[in-house]
A and B are shown apart, each in its own frame.
Chain A
Amino acid sequence: MPAPSPYRGDFPILERRIQGYPLAYLDNAATTQKPRAVINALSSYYERHNANVHRGVHTLAEEASALYEEARATLARFLGAPSPRQIIFTRGTTDALNLVAAGWARPRLKPGDEILVTRMEHHSNLVPWQMAARERGATLRFAGITAEGTLDRESFASQLSGRTRIVAISHVSNVLGTINPARELIALAHAAGARVVLDAAQSAGHLRLDVRDLDCDFLALSGHKMYGPTGIGVLYGKADCLEEMQPVQGGGGMIEWVEEQEAAWAPIPARFEAGTPNIAGAHALAAAAEYLRPRLEPAQQWEAGLTAYALERLAAVPALQLYGPRDPARRAGVFSFNLPGLHPHDVAEVLDGYGLALRAGHHCCQVLMRSLGVTATLRASLALYSDSGELDRLAEGLSTARKALSA
């Protein structure tokens, strides 16, 4: 009898039944479900503390401001950042990466400079760099991937040069599940004189992150992929990088003073947070970080065990083509695969009939899809509430779908 996850009961939505089956939510790379602690943080904020931050002296404004700044400090601790002022609240990873590309990279890039990304980047860590490169006459280069779906380190190292200004890499691939050796890649990039932007959207909430140990110059994450709400994320930056970065949005809260023709910026991080921020979201994201704090290590082990089991079960599905590394130690719980001759959307539709929530498509990775020679894949992705019973159900569902659709 497979053991259920010890964390499942913390997530109210998992009590739902879909098509008569208990919900097997395997779309966690897209967004995770929210524990009660996060839902309570959102509702208690609006029921008890709601006010705008920073500009009020009344009690609720003081409370809202304190909760917002406490959230910043909590996220700084979560990432091992030296100071809360190095945490900028954004709408999510996409917003954070666009801020670095527009506010830090664009003013710095010169014609002939290079930006190095990998072929496994999500569009959010690719298109902003295309835009910056095109505007500044810089060149975008791609580190290749191996046949197994890991980053080709030789390709990466050989494309670093004195012209490389920025290296933008994902920590964990949202398609292949590959865990990139971030620390090593960052050291290589630094040795070449480049700054490194780490897309941690898929690692936050699954792997312990320590920005000082990683030594990344910037790191972006999304709250909703680490059990927090949508519409809130974080950009971490080294203090000198943030001091160099230009604000991209002007407005309230980001200035020290404003004259008719000019304005002076507020100190970091307020400089990058124009307008009323997502206060409730920041507070609830902090609740997610606090939820994870004592659970991250045991959950990481739980997910690693399930990853090994999933590889075994998927390998046993007849004809299934799995993308990404076979070695469970080198990958996270994200699995992309296809059943030959069947469109992933059709298979996902059949699986939904068994209460299995999977994603099908290009997963915002069209460059990678071309490298894999496909236009779309099915993707199952795990979270700390996943369990082996769900993976058994997935394997059976895939076999059933194959028979039903191949007739």
Chain B
Amino acid sequence: MSVELYRAAVLEHSRNPRNAGTLDSPSHRARAANPLCGDELEVTLLLAGGRVTAIRAAVRGCIIAQAGASLMTTAIEGATEAEARVRARDFRAALEDPHATLPPSLEPLTPLLELHQHPSRIGCALLSWLALERALDPGAGT
């Protein structure tokens, strides 16, 4: 396993996760679990006026899952519901395509593209996005 995956930016987000925990009165919530390792997390968010005004992720998982969730919340907080869906789709597509780059809205997540070299870990980084998609569209990604 290459240490390239654990760059400073990723480690920093896993040690000091942004938006960690659970909202008390979320408008939407969903869980996701990684069947391969047992990691699980819950995303809670508040949708007000069509915008994600608050979002939290409670993560029990590896560094990639934790940093991935932290980075996800920073990319989604303040986004409109439509933007959130597009960003989820864009991030998933970028991880699945070995030659992809990220759109400007997702630029801070660039260190995670190192996962192209570690396909078995892509699911770790997508876990929080799966929960986000399920929160917005119950039934998504089943």
Contact = CB atoms under 8 A, between A and B. Distances in A.
Interface of A: 54-58, 61-62, 65-66, 253, 255-257, 264, 266-267, 270
19 contacts: A55-B37, A57-B118, A57-B120, A57-B121, A58-B1, A61-B120, A62-B118, A62-B119, A62-B120, A65-B119, A65-B120, A66-B119, A253-B35, A256-B35, A257-B35, A257-B40, A264-B33, A267-B141, A267-B142
Interface string B94-110: 00000000000000000
A324 B36 CA distance: 51
B44 to A, nearest CB: 18
Contact of A54 (B33, B120, B141): B120
A54 B36 CA distance: 7
A66 B119 CA distance: 8
Interface string B19-49: 0000000000000010111101000000000
A264 B142 CA distance: 10
Contacts of B36: 54-55
Contacts of A257: 33, 35, 38, 40
A191 to B, nearest CB: 31
Interface in B108-135: 118-121
A349 to B, nearest CB: 53
A253 B33 CA distance: 13
A256 B37 CA distance: 10
A227 to B, nearest CB: 29
A253 B119 CA distance: 17
Interface residues of B, number: 13
In the A-B complex, the 5 residue pairs with the closest CB atoms: A257-B33, A256-B35, A266-B35, A256-B33, A57-B120
Contacts of A270: 35
Contacts of A66: 119
B136 to A, nearest CB: 18
A62 B122 CA distance: 12
Nearest to A257: B33
A92 B123 CA distance: 30
Nearest to B37: A55
Contacts of A61: 120
A89 to B, nearest CB: 17
Given A62-B118, A264-B33, 12 more contacts: A54-B36, A54-B120, A55-B37, A57-B1, A57-B118, A65-B120, A66-B119, A256-B33, A257-B35, A257-B40, A267-B141, A270-B35
Nearest to B32: A256
Nearest to A254: B35
A90 B93 CA distance: 29
A256 B118 CA distance: 21
Contacts of A57: 1, 118, 120-121
Contacts of A58: 1
A116 B33 CA distance: 41
A58 B142 CA distance: 27
Contacts of B37: 55
B86 to A, nearest CB: 22
Nearest to A266: B35
Nearest to B40: A257
A270 B38 CA distance: 16
B40 to A, nearest CB: 7
A59 to B, nearest CB: 8
Nearest to A264: B33
Contacts of B35: 253, 255-257, 266, 270
Contacts of A54: 36, 120
A53 B14 CA distance: 27
A218 B119 CA distance: 30
Nearest to B1: A57
A56 B40 contact: no
Contacts of A56: 120
Nearest to A54: B36
Which of B33, B36, B37, B118 gathers the greatest number of chain A CB atoms within 10 Å?
Answer: B36
Contacts of A65: 119-120
A257 B141 CA distance: 15
Nearest to A61: B120
A274 to B, nearest CB: 12
A54 B120 CA distance: 7
Contacts of B119: 62, 65-66
Nearest to A59: B1
B142 to A, nearest CB: 6
Contacts of A253: 35
